[in-house]
Amino acid sequence: MTLFSLVKWDPRCKIILMACLSTLAMLRGEVWFLFGLLVFTCLLVMLGGAELSGALGQVKGLLGLIFSLFIIQCFFTRSGEPWLVIGGFTLITSGGIELACILSLRLFILAFSALLLLTGEVRDYLLALVQMKIPYEIAFMTMASVHFIPILREEALNVFYAIQLRGCELQKASWRKKLHTYLEICLPILVGALKRTRAMALAMEARAFRAYPKRTYLRRLVLKKNDKAILVAVPVITLVLLVY
């Protein structure tokens, strides 16, 4: 079900919205509030027509991390009333549970609000950042690093395959062996990444990056009426929620 289209929103709106959601998530510390915020974010992503199957796939990877953080928080925070006592030793306290909930909710909100950004194209965000008066170099670097994460992943996989094809049994290996292999992979990936950044810098300069202080852009982003409304309303609501 799609009520409005996130794809059509101005990228600046999405950036602001994400920044506001994350700020709220980090600064407010009540479970009920964070839960409401999470529901709101989810609704926004779902009703906005973000591709949910893909979106869930992105969040799935985080689940394990969030779950383990939840457990750790539960066990290592000692405050409030004891909830579970085994053999005279307090295992879980109400304070621990609360903190664990807050932390997990925050992470979920961050993840879902980042999904908002996935509804746009990278070059649009680059343009948005530039039109928000952020220096082009910095905007470009930020976007380039986002762009390169999947490529780094692919390279890591290639090395991983190469290691296995040369006879290193990983699927049946002990965790020590696995760890050792992962550390081995780090080297070629780091070297590759460094080499490529150098090559990319050269290639960019060869194509006149920063040769002139000002550069031109093929397109300009223009704010529509509802974009303007969002740009004003979202920060105001955020401020109100923060003060209240």
Instruction: Give residues in contact with another protein (CB under 8 A).
Output: 155, 158-159, 161-172, 184-185, 187-188, 191-192, 195
**78 versus 195: smaller Cβ distance to another protein:** 195
CB of 185 to another protein, least distance (A): 6
Q: Would you tell me the crossing angle of helices 11-27 and 31-47 to the nearest 10 degrees? A: 160
**185 versus 221: smaller Cβ distance to another protein:** 185
What DSSP letter does each residue of 73-99 carry, written as one string? Answer: HHHH---S-EEEEETTEEEEEHHHHHH
CB of 163 to another protein, least distance (A): 6
CB of 165 to another protein, least distance (A): 4
Structure tokens, 226: 């509802």
Structure tokens, 60: 């799935």
| CA nearest neighbour of 38 among 51, 21, 14, 52 | 21
CB of 199 to another protein, least distance (A): 11
CB 13 within 8 A of CB 233: no
Fill in the amino acid letter for 205.
Answer: E
**75 versus 182: smaller Cβ distance to another protein:** 182
**51 versus 137: smaller Cβ distance to another protein:** 51
CB of 61 to another protein, least distance (A): 15
**30 versus 184: smaller Cβ distance to another protein:** 184
Separation of alpha carbons 58 and 50, rounded Å:
12
Q: Tokens 């990228």 correspond to what residue?
A: 11
> Rounded to the nearest 5°, which phi and psi values hold at 34?
-65, -40
